[in-house]
Chains A and B, each alone.
Chain A
Amino acid sequence: DIVMTQSPDSLAVSLGERATINCKSSQSIFYSSNNKNYLAWYQQKPGQPPKLLIYWASTRESGVPDRFSGSGSGTDFTLTISSLQAEDVAIYYCQQYYSTPQSFGQGTKLEIK
């Protein structure tokens, strides 16, 4: 099974500053046949269900603000929030869907400094 490890576990960033969350897979989740990385990012605010932000490692879901971006390939990935807003306080999860069982990272809690 593929293990997903996020860092850091928690993060405090000032409003308007950049926030960076990392996700590492225990094996490559890149398919050379279609040139895609099988990684998604989700945002979960308190009391709400997870919300899809990014899929295929860097494709932004419709309606997601462009301050959210995903990057990386192979085993190392990053979610970047370019200018933190108050409404971005949440737990962020990465998920690999390269192989079954799909697996999620443990989550990164993002707070305002």
Chain B
Amino acid sequence: EVQLVESGGGLVQPGGSLRLSCAASGFTFSSFWMSWVRQAPGKGLERVANIRRDGSEKYYVDSVKGRFTISRDNAQNSLYLQMNSLRADDTAVYHCARVGPGSATGNWYFDLWGRGTLVTVSS
């Protein structure tokens, strides 16, 4: 079955760190750009970070630059998001998403999503 399964979310204090993981299965993981997209409670969707197929290019939304790091392990079919210096406005469900095959760099839509993992930043 083609799927993405996230893990690693939880409750963390402001200024803390968390590492999210995403396990991919049912498709050739190394052939696709991947992304993290978050959804704050009751709010809309926001792309957080993207990574090229081989990990050589990474892109971030301005609000997380310098705090979040996206990475991948193609041998393990896994995607990661290291989140440091967390703030209350980072509270959201974080979805792992596969970039559509017709996308070019900077023009990303998402053709497969995981259910997400909830990150709550609160004291």
Contact = CB atoms under 8 A, between A and B. Distances in A.
Interface in A65-113: 93, 95, 97-102, 104-107
Q: Chain A binding site: helix, strand, loop or mixed by DSSP?
A: loop
B61 interface: yes
Contacts of B102: 55-56
A38 B61 contact: no
Contacts of B110: 40, 42, 50, 52
Contact of A52 (B47, B107, B109): B109
A48 B47 CA distance: 18
B35 to A, nearest CB: 9
A55 B100 contact: yes
B114 A98 contact: no
Interface of B: 44-47, 59, 61-62, 95, 100, 102-103, 106-116
Interface of A: 38, 40, 42, 48-52, 55-56, 61, 93, 95, 97-102, 104-107
14 contacts: A38-B107, A49-B113, A49-B115, A50-B110, A50-B113, A51-B113, A52-B109, A52-B110, A55-B100, A55-B102, A56-B102, A97-B103, A101-B62, A104-B46
